[in-house]
Structure 1
Amino acid sequence: MKCMTGLLAAVLLLAGMGASQAVVRIGEDRGGRIGTYVDKYQDVRSSGEMVIIDGLCASACTIVLGAIPHEKICVTSHAALGFHAAWDLDDAGHAITNPEATHMLYSMYPPPVKKWINQRGGLTSRMIYLRGKELTTLYHPCYLDARASAQH
């Protein structure tokens, strides 16, 4: 049932947008290499597409917040952003924090997101999540998400 509600919300979101407004939906994205996401979001920014965050966007995925204009991002009630320090693998295969990459990642975030991160101790090896009311104070809800939820 939850899957059907999410599908209905996505269909309604897409139906409510004109043909000239393409969208990128972020569902369950746990991140990856920072450079990959920088390239991906530069392409999205150039296209002018709207970004709908409708699930987990963690780690390097959160670069979207700095790469895409604020007015081109909306969040659904399922959205959650996960932040942590950047890391690399050492010679033994263990994860170690990469201070330079962490600084670069942090520098990409807009000031309100940086403030939220700072209030929670900064970017560390521990994942911190921005969701719910806290998230919707920083990013506007997707237009039809509330209508889709109200129909069920």
Structure 2
Amino acid sequence: MKIVTGLLAAVLLITGVGASHAVVRISEDRGGRIGTYVDKYEDLKTSGESVMIDGLCASACTIVLGAVPRDRICVTSRANLGFHAAWDFGSNGRTITNPEATQMLYSMYPPSIKRWIAHRGGLTPRMIFLRGRQLANMYRPCYLDAQASVHQPLPR
């Protein structure tokens, strides 16, 4: 047990994560209702927890970028952010863009994300993705991701 405790302490020390600072991992989140995500991320913001984006974070999931302070967000090499206009179901069951909700969504993003979206024509029904080098230039890399890529075993 003493070895396990020592190993855990070493991992936490190496990764820069204190025992009191949990990390919430976001991966394969396709979004949903804006209000649900606003509530969820308000709780996350006040918790002091950090966020690791490690895969798809699309639609309402991206509200995390404006809700949680930038210094508490990191991205892995797998992070992929998807943005589009907000929509509702119309009377015929088809989706229709909701301009008011789209403006509210856009207003929640930090300036760097707003600029990126604006340079791509704004929020439209078509999904646009922020990933790779462009995303890495906006958010710090997750330390665990960087370490994992360095310490992968060599092929035999």
What's the counterpart of residue 97 of structure 1? 97
CA RMSD of aligned residues (A): 1.5
What's the counterpart of residue 62 of structure 1? 62
Q: Distance in 1 between matches of 2:56 and 2:13?
A: 20
In the superposition, relative to structure 1, how do residues 85 and 149 fare at CA in structure 2: closer, same or farther (>3 Å)? same
Alpha-carbon deviation of 1:144?
A: 2.1
What's the counterpart of residue 35 of structure 1? 35
Could you list the per-position Cα deviations for residues 18-48 of structure 1 after superposition, in whole angstroms to 9, with x for gaps in the alignment?
2111111101000000000000000000100
- After superposition, residues 8-19 of structure 1 pair within 5 angstroms as 16=15, 17-19=17-19
Q: Distance in 1 between matches of 2:31 and 2:14?
A: 28
In the superposition, relative to structure 1, how do residues 14 and 104 fare at CA in structure 2: closer, same or farther (>3 Å)? farther
- 1:25 has 2:2 as partner: no
In the superposition, relative to structure 1, how do residues 122 and 72 fare at CA in structure 2: closer, same or farther (>3 Å)? same
Q: Distance in 1 between matches of 2:96 and 2:13?
A: 41
Q: Percent identity?
A: 70
Aligned residues: 141
Q: Name the structure, 1 or 2, with higher relative contact order (CA <8 Å, separation 6+).
A: 1
- 1:87 has 2:57 as partner: no
Q: Which runs of 5+ in 2 are unaligned?
A: 1-10
Q: Distance in 2 between matches of 1:142 and 1:129?
A: 19
The structure having more radius of gyration, on CA atoms, is 2
Asked if structure 1 preserves the Cα contact closer than 8 Å seen for 2:12 and 2:18, the reply is no
Could you list the per-position Cα deviations for residues 91-149 of structure 1 after superposition, in whole angstroms to 9, with x for gaps in the alignment?
11100000000000000000010000000010000000000000011100011211101
What's the counterpart of residue 135 of structure 1? 135
Secondary structure, aligned partner of 2:116: helix
- Matched letter for residue 102 of structure 1: T
**Following TM superposition, where does structure 1 have runs of at least 4 consecutive aligned residues deviating by more than 6 angstroms?**
12-15
